[in-house]
């Protein structure tokens, strides 16, 4: 199972990134869990200084922009 983590305080871009991640995982047919990390201290533990960010299995894949579902599929494979 893939653990997809959305790092951000809940802004519209963070919500869009979460939506895109869910679309990507569903289209790939993989087992996944989405976790939203909203506390600044927890986000900083990932070394992320700009949100939104997306991490897969604890590794940051993108920060500071909203990735498309197709981009996220590449990060999940």
Q: Which residues are catalytic?
A: 11, 14
Instruction: Count other C-beta atoms under 10 Å from residue 69's C-beta.
Output: 16
Torsion angle of alpha carbons 20, 22, 23, 29, nearest 10°?
150
For the chain, where are the alpha helices, taking DSSP H only?
12-28, 40-45, 69-76
């Amino acid at each position: 199972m893939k653990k997809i983590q959305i790092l951000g305080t809940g802004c519209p871009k963070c919500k869009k990134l979460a939506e895109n991640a869910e679309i990507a995982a569903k289209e790939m047919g993989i087992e996944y869990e989405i976790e939203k990390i909203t506390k600044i201290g927890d986000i900083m533990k990932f070394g992320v200084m700009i949100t939104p960010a997306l991490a897969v299995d604890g590794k940051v894949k993108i920060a500071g922009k909203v990735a498309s579902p197709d981009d996220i599929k590449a990060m999940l494979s």
